[in-house]
Chain A
Amino acid sequence: MSLLSVRNLRVTFPTDHGPVDVVRGLSFDLGRERLGIVGESGSGKSMTGRAVMGLVPKPGRVTADELTFDGQDLRGLSEEAMRGLRGPAMSMVLQDPRFSLNPVIRIGDQIEEAMAVHGRLGKRDRRARMLDALSAVRITDPERVARLYPHEVSGGMGQRVMIAMMVVLEPALMIADEPTSALDVSVRGQVLDILADLVDRRGMGLMLISHDLNMVARWCDRILVMYHGEVVEELAAGALMEAQHPYTRGLVASLPKIDETRDRLPVLDRSRL
């Protein structure tokens, strides 16, 4: 059975010109695997992640024929029930650790707080788990890092702290929305490695949302390509070059290559999509 089943998901926002669908009838299943969702700005990829988490801001509306997580129907669940799921069962890693960590609380205390809110653990157990989680994201001296404030660590380490904060609660589903785009190229691979490792070892399901085609193609088992709120194509990992849809092909072609010799890059012709 799949971890997450989504059928005909719609996210609608009211505007001056009537309601606008930003996600238009999306359907997919996610098992304990790495699923990539790629698309450009405005394609609805982030709203898809937020809809699953129950985090679409008002006045947005979410509807679906099916939205089942681990056998539980998420539609019409109360805010309180959703809050109980967010954290222990499903979690989200956001783009920029500088904005998603609390700047005035020490890193260790922030991670413990996540457990305290949801947890039944005593203070000493929480601390041990917090240090374990920091080690799990390959922080070599967790004792020292736990005492630091967010501004004292680099972007890459901040993002690993964010992941540690998710990991302590051992969610079954992790949604990572552009988890590496605020990071330096040199640490991106490391953060993705950690995510991939967690999926493999703990049997999590991972939804990786990104605009970076090549990265998603390298790291995910399957890719959904979104355009205008719809999935235009589903691809197996490594099959990016065999993409059929003109949008996907256009995107792939417009990327410069490391051994680029084309005089001009082909530009996506949106009028023909």
Chain B
Amino acid sequence: MIRVEDLSVRFGDTQVLHDVSFEVAAGESFALVGESGSGKSTILKALAGQVPVAGGSLALGDAAGAMTAKARARQVQMVFQDPYGSLHPRRTIDDTLSEPLLIHGLPDRDTRVLAMLDAVGLPRRFRFRLPHQLSGGQRQRVAIARALMLDPPVLLLDEPTSALDVSVQAEILNLLKSLREEKGLTFLLVTHDLPVVSFLCDRLAILKAGRIVEMAGVEALRAGQFASPYGRELFDRTVHG
């Protein structure tokens, strides 16, 4: 569902990704972990078409090769870290959820918006509210709903719960897991939080300075058995502070 081969990204003279390759099967949930500056979010941005690719190839969803922005939007959508910054403050929830349908000329907007509110566990009475009238967790539900409006097979999740309170994080993680099971979604999750990976993902890649240093199954994470020294270092820091 996602194939990344020898991906390189440069910002000016600085190369931020060096020959990154990995594949994610349909319905799989894959995590990219690493410190700030390791390039994990840049991979998501490259897949979302937000940064120019300097080398290598990307394939996404059902289509192969180059895609128009509009076609890409049907294949992949992103959920961002900060639900306070990722929703238009002066548009109602209804506006936010209807916009992708309008752009893509899809019918039955009314039914689809209501069905999506139900799917992400938001009461229907929130439909005409503005983002500031919602809590952080409710806003993140709206962001997830917006990402799913066009029924993309792939969701890119950039630290989707790290701005949320612990108890709200649990609700959103449960929601993501249910949605993935119901709709057969493919997840690519960026996080620095290994326990979240343990809950939500099947496999992970550990990044350091723009390179993948290790790929492992979630069993290796749960058992604390990473092969690379850097992987073990990350694990130790999480477990022992």
Chain B, residue nearest A193 (CB): B241
Q: Which of B189-240 contact A (CB under 8 A)?
A: 192, 194-196, 198-199, 221-224, 234-235, 237-239
Q: Does B171 contact A (CB under 8 A)?
A: yes
Residue contact A219 to B241, C-beta cutoff 8 Å: yes
Would you give the shortest CB distance from A243 to chain B, in whole angstroms? 13
Residue contact A255 to B177, C-beta cutoff 8 Å: no
Q: Does B174 contact A (CB under 8 A)?
A: yes
Residue contact A192 to B222, C-beta cutoff 8 Å: no
Would you give the shortest CB distance from A272 to chain B, in whole angstroms? 13
Contacts of A261 in B (CB 8 A): 222
With beta carbons under 8 angstroms apart, the residue of A185, A219, A267 that contacts B35 is: A185
With beta carbons under 8 angstroms apart, the residue of A184, A192, A214, A254 that contacts B170 is: A254
Q: Does A157 contact B (CB under 8 A)?
A: no
Residue contact A258 to B170, C-beta cutoff 8 Å: no
Residue contact B36 to A258, C-beta cutoff 8 Å: no
With beta carbons under 8 angstroms apart, the residue of A188, A254, A257, A260 that contacts B167 is: A254
Residue contact B165 to A211, C-beta cutoff 8 Å: yes
Residue contact A256 to B241, C-beta cutoff 8 Å: no
With beta carbons under 8 angstroms apart, the residue of B166, B174, B235, B237 that contacts A213 is: B166
With beta carbons under 8 angstroms apart, the residue of B165, B166, B177, B224 that contacts A258 is: B224
Docked Cα-Cα span, A259 to B196, in Å, equals 10
Q: Does B152 contact A (CB under 8 A)?
A: no
Docked Cα-Cα span, A154 to B235, in Å, equals 23
Residue contact B195 to A267, C-beta cutoff 8 Å: no
Residue contact B167 to A256, C-beta cutoff 8 Å: no
Docked Cα-Cα span, A181 to B20, in Å, equals 29
Chain B, residue nearest A183 (CB): B36
Residue contact A186 to B165, C-beta cutoff 8 Å: no
With beta carbons under 8 angstroms apart, the residue of B136, B192, B222 that contacts A185 is: B192
Docked Cα-Cα span, A188 to B171, in Å, equals 26
Beyond A40-B166, A184-B35, is A256–B198 a contact (Cβ under 8 Å)?
Answer: yes
Would you give the shortest CB distance from B44 to chain A, in whole angstroms? 18
With beta carbons under 8 angstroms apart, the residue of B177, B192, B198 that contacts A259 is: B198
Beyond A213-B166, A265-B199, is A258–B237 a contact (Cβ under 8 Å)?
Answer: no
Would you give the shortest CB distance from A124 to chain B, in whole angstroms? 38
Docked Cα-Cα span, A215 to B241, in Å, equals 7
Q: Does A268 contact B (CB under 8 A)?
A: yes
Q: Does A17 contact B (CB under 8 A)?
A: no
Docked Cα-Cα span, A268 to B173, in Å, equals 13
Docked Cα-Cα span, A72 to B190, in Å, equals 50
Q: Does A266 contact B (CB under 8 A)?
A: yes
Would you give the shortest CB distance from B111 to chain A, in whole angstroms? 28
Q: Which of A230-266 contact B (CB under 8 A)?
A: 250-251, 254-266
Residue contact B195 to A257, C-beta cutoff 8 Å: yes
Contacts of A40 in B (CB 8 A): 165-168
Contacts of B21 in A (CB 8 A): none
Residue contact A266 to B170, C-beta cutoff 8 Å: yes
With beta carbons under 8 angstroms apart, the residue of A250, A257, A268 that contacts B198 is: A257
Residue contact A260 to B241, C-beta cutoff 8 Å: no
Q: Does A202 contact B (CB under 8 A)?
A: no
Would you give the shortest CB distance from A176 to chain B, in whole angstroms? 16
24 A-B pairs with CB atoms under 8 Å apart are A40-B166, A184-B36, A189-B241, A192-B241, A211-B165, A214-B241, A250-B167, A251-B166, A254-B167, A254-B170, A255-B170, A256-B170, A256-B195, A257-B198, A258-B195, A258-B235, A264-B174, A264-B177, A265-B174, A266-B170, A267-B167, A267-B170, A268-B167, A268-B170
Given A264-B177, A265-B170, 9 extra CB contacts under 8 A: A184-B36, A185-B35, A219-B241, A250-B167, A258-B221, A258-B222, A258-B224, A258-B235, A268-B170
Which A residues have a C-beta under 8 Å from some C-beta of B?
Answer: 40-41, 155, 184-186, 188-189, 192, 211, 213-215, 218-219, 250-251, 254-268
Q: Which 3 A-B pairs have the closest CB atoms?
A: A254-B170, A268-B167, A265-B170
